[in-house]
Each structure stands twice: as structure tokens, then as C-alpha cells.
Structure 1
Amino acid sequence: MRPEIAVLDIQGQFRVYTECYRADAAEKTIIMVNGSLATTASFAQTARNLYPQFNVVLYDQPYAGKSKPHNLHERPLTKEIEGQILLELIDHFNAEHIMSFSWGGAAALVALAHRPKRIEKAVISSFSPVINEPMRDYLERGSQHLGAYDRYEVGNLINSTIGKHLPSLFKRFNYKHVSTLDLHEYAQMHHHINHVLDTNTLGQIKLAKRINVPVLFMNGEWDEYTAAQDARLFADHVRQCHFSTIQCAGHFLDMEHKAACLHSKNALLEFLKPAPEPSRIRHQNVHNHPAFAI
């Protein structure tokens, strides 16, 4: 897997680093939307799960990763701006699908609410429309540490909460990444958290009601922060709603262990590339059998 790398100009305001993994046999392209402060590296396993069935596009937000040197960072980005950046990338890469992780779900909802013509399906993982008690506790402590630019406490907080089911090696990488960020990145995450704390469920639902494509909401069984049962609140508002709960997995899903990785891969491919329906047999005997709901 060797990507085509480009730094794209977005409406003359931002420069966005992108990686495009093209596969000869792929008919569709999927764009991956990072969580807060994450980079293209965060989707390494998911990209392997999707390639070569799909062309896979990864990108860094203007404030993060390899986009960071190309931008000024004068003020934090809103979810609306991140949604507009995603819409520009959808058009540039002619993408049919998008997949988001965690905070990336907010930008994905904004983009999907605009009903981009090319998009056929979307996957929103580790996201829910409500702030439950565990999430509120995590966000409030995070806001305190970020406001003080206490990088070590931020790293410890993430690993002891949403990252608690990660393997020890991933926790070390996570801690090193989070505790060595630039000050503008902490300001960006602080802005994200304060926005989430001030947002009510109605705002997320309003966006969801405008979505006109099938959406798969994928959450970990052990994720108490963006819980599977909370994500199912979208069922009353997204017209074509699907759900998958990854067994024995927390917030980071396919990064946590091999079984969760395989379950995540199967759920993604089943939704994005459903098996063709078998040809109907024209002449057959029909018997009265009871119908079972599965």
C-alpha cells in the first residue's frame, strides 16, 4: 500500500495533507474522517481492512499531523468548517462513501446534512448523539487539563478512559502523541470539548434528519462513553439506519484486539459491499413455514 500524497488548497483558506490508496480492482472510494487530534496514522488498521476492496482516502485536519506546517492556526476550527472541508474532499476525490471515528462524526453529520450528491453510504463509528454521565465526566476533566495546558494529565486521562481497552503498546504511542502536541492543538481540543458540552441532543438530531443515504452506526460493546444504546437514538431520525455493536471492544474498536478488528472489518464490508442476492428460482414448491425475525 503506497499512497498518492498531495497537499490540497481548500477554498484558499486551508491546506490539507491527503493520502489516497488506489486499488486497481476498486470501484468505490471511501474518505476517512479522524477523531479529535488524531492523524492519518489512526486509520492505519481500518485502511487495511478496506483496501483493496476500496480506494481509501486519509487526511489530516488543518491543525493536525502533516497538514499542520501548512496552516496558520489563528483560531480553532468549528465542526461546520470541518464539515465543509470534508465536502470539498468528497468532490475532489469523487468519493462514494465516508467513514468517521469519534469526534469526526460531528463533521460527518454536517457534511451528510448537505446531502452531497456522490455519497451513497456512510459509517459513523464510536459516536452518539447524547452526553451521558461517563462522557460528561471525561469531557469536564479534559477541559480542565487542556485549559491548563497540562499535557501529561491529558495523556493520562485519555488512556484511563476512552483508551482503557487499548493494548499497552498503543497506550504508550497514544500518550506520547497526545503529550507532545503543539499549544494550538490543545486549544483546538479544548474548543471541541466545550462545544460538545454546550451542545444538546436536538442539534445532532436536526442534522441527522436531513441525511438521505444509508448510515451504519458502529459502537463498541464496552464503550461506556459513546455507548451503543445511545447511538440507537438515531434510529428515529435517520431514514435508513443500521447498527453494529462490536463485541468485547471499547471506544477504539479495531485497534484493541484481533477479534474486534475482524468483527469491525466484517461489519464494514457487509454494509458497504453487501453480497448480491441469489437469483430467484422461477418454479418452486411453496410450503407454509413460519416466518422468523432475525
Structure 2
Amino acid sequence: MSPEIAVLDIQGLFRVYTEFYRADAAEKTIIMVNGSLATTASYAQTVRNLYPQFNIVLFDQPYAGRSKPHNTHEAPLSREIEAHLLLELIEHFHADHVMSFSWGGVATLLALAQRPKRIEKAVVSSFSPVINDAMQDYLLRGVKHLGERNRYEVGHLINDTIGKHLPSLFKRFNYRHVSSLDLHEYDQMHHHITQVLAVDPQNYLAAASNIKIPVLFMNGALDEYTSGQDVHHFTKYVQDCSFSTIQDAGHFLDMENKAACRDSKNALLGFLQPGAVSASNTRHAYHQPQGTHAFAL
């Protein structure tokens, strides 16, 4: 399962590294949106869960991963720019579905609010419209450590909070990755968090009310930062939404343990391919609000 690799020019402004996992029998293509500080490697397990049922597109933001060498980093990117990049990639790859992780959910919701014609369904994972006390504490500590460019504290903050349910090996990889990032990546994340703390969530929630396609919000039952309870606020804005709470999982869902991996896969396929997963094999809580047609690292 080797991807087709390309670096795409986006309107002469950015160059984006992409991986396209083509499955000959797949009828649909899904594009994955990373969380902050993450790269294509973050979706390794999700790719295994969805391939070969789908063609899969991964990409690195211009400031991250294998896109970094192809771009200048003069100023942080806004979520609006990231949403525009996503829309361009959707068109290029003729994507039918989109899936986001954590803060990638903001750019994804902003892009979906533009009603891209090709997108039929979307999955927004480990994201919440509510900045609760746990998330507020995490963000404030993050702003401090990122502003000081303190690699040690940033790495440990992530593993001690949103990553606390990861296996020890994953925590070591996570710390190594986060503590070795370029300084402009810390500045980018600092910019993101500052925006989140300063901007009224109603701004992007109002944009979400323009989304007309079905959206699945998927959260871990053990995730106190983007909780499955808080995410239900989206019922007021997204016309066609459903929710899946993955038991025995925290913020990183399918990366945390075998049961969470299995249940995440069942939730995804059950939403994207109805009938493909037997209800008897599903342990996650999945429901659609009655009468409702209604962003981590």
C-alpha cells in the first residue's frame, strides 16, 4: 500500500505535499485534515481502517511536515486560508468525503460552510464547540510555553493532557516530534491558540449553520478536553448531524488501544458506508438526534 506522492502548487501561493492512496475497487475518495502540529503520519492507523474501501488523500499544511521545505514561512496561516487550501485539494482529488482531527475541525467546518459540491459526508473527530475548563487550562499553558518556545514544556504538556491515554511508545514518538519542530511551527500553533482564545465561538458556529451535508462528530468517552457531551451543541447549528462516542478512548481515538481502534473503524464505516458494519459488532454509542435536521491537536 504505497501512496502516489505529489507536491501541488496552490494558486502560486503555497506548495502542499500530498499522499494519495488509490484503491482500485473504491468508489469514493476521502481527504483527511490534520490537527495542529500534526503531519500525514498522524493518520497511519486511520488509513489502515479505511483502505481499501476508500481512496485516501493525506496532506501536510504548508508550514508542517514534508510541505515545509517548499514554502516560505513569513507569517502564520489563518484558519480561513487553511479552509481555502482544503477546498482546492477537494477539487483537485475529486474528494467525496472529508475527515478532520482536533483543531483541523475549524478549517474543515469553514470549508464545508462554502458548500463544496463534491463533498457528500464529513467526519469531525476530537473537536468541540465548547472551550471547557480543561481545554481552557490546556490552551493557556500552551500559549505560555509556545510563546517562550520551550520545547521541553510543550512536549510534556501534550503528553500529560490530551495525550495522556496514548501508549508509552506513542508518547515517546509524540514528544520527539513536538520537541523537535521548527520555531515557525511553534509560532503557528501560538497563533492558532491565540485566535481560539480571542474569537467568539459563535463566529464559526454561525458558519456551520450553512453546512447541509451529513456530519458525524466523533469523540472519545475519556476525552475531557473535547468531550462527547459538549459536542452536542452542534445540534443547534449543523442541520444533519450525528454523534459517535468511542468507549475506552481519549483524544487520540484509534491510536490509543485495540478496542478504540476497532470501534473507531466501525463508527467511520457505519457512517460512510451504511450497512457495512453489523450492529452486533459495534460497541460505540452512535445516535442521530430525533427531529434534528439540523472546533486537537
Q: Hey, what does 1:47 align to over in structure 2? A: 47
Mapped to 2, the partners of 1:69 and 1:197 lie a distance apart of: 30
Identity %, equivalent residues: 73
Q: How well do the aligned residues superpose, as a CA RMSD in angstroms?
A: 0.9
Mapped to 2, the partners of 1:174 and 1:199 lie a distance apart of: 28
Task: Write the letter of the residue equivalent to 1:275.
Answer: G
- Cα distance per residue 1:69-112 (max 9 Å; x no partner): 00001000000000000000000000000000001001100110
Per-residue deviation, 1:203: 1.4
Mapped to 1, the partners of 2:166 and 2:269 lie a distance apart of: 23
Q: Hey, what does 1:175 align to over in structure 2? A: 175
User: Which residues of 2 match residues 75-114 of structure 1 at below 5 A?
Assistant: 75-114=75-114
Q: Hey, what does 1:154 align to over in structure 2? A: 154
Task: Write the letter of the residue equivalent to 2:163.
Answer: G
- TM-score (normalised: structure 1): 0.93
Task: Write the letter of the residue equivalent to 1:12.
Answer: G
Look up the SS of the partner of 1:66 in the other structure: helix
Per-residue deviation, 1:171: 0.1
User: Which residues of 2 match residues 82-231 of structure 1 at below 5 A?
Assistant: 82-231=82-231
Per-residue deviation, 1:236: 1.7
Task: Write the letter of the residue equivalent to 1:68.
Answer: K
Mapped to 1, the partners of 2:16 and 2:268 lie a distance apart of: 26
Q: Hey, what does 2:293 align to over in structure 1? A: none
Matched, 1:32 2:32: yes
Q: Hey, what does 2:14 align to over in structure 1? A: 14
Say if 1:228 and 1:245, in contact at 8 Å, map to a contact too: yes
Where has structure 1 moved over 6 Å in runs of 4 or more? none
Say if 1:130 and 1:200, in contact at 8 Å, map to a contact too: no
Task: Write the letter of the residue equivalent to 2:145.
Answer: H
Q: Quick one: higher RCO (CA 8 Å, sep 6+), 1 or 2?
A: 2
Give structure 1 stretches of 5+ with no counterpart: 277-292
Say if 2:129 and 2:233, in contact at 8 Å, map to a contact too: yes
Give structure 2 stretches of 5+ with no counterpart: 277-289, 291-297
Bigger radius of gyration among the two: 1
Q: Hey, what does 1:281 align to over in structure 2? A: none
Say if 2:155 and 2:179, in contact at 8 Å, map to a contact too: yes
Task: Write the letter of the residue equivalent to 1:121.
Answer: K
Per-residue deviation, 1:248: 1.1
- TM-score (normalised: structure 2): 0.92
Mapped to 2, the partners of 1:165 and 1:258 lie a distance apart of: 13
- Cα distance per residue 1:138-192 (max 9 Å; x no partner): 0000000000000110000000000000000000000000000000000000001
Say if 2:129 and 2:230, in contact at 8 Å, map to a contact too: yes
- Cα distance per residue 1:42-63 (max 9 Å; x no partner): 0000011000000000000000
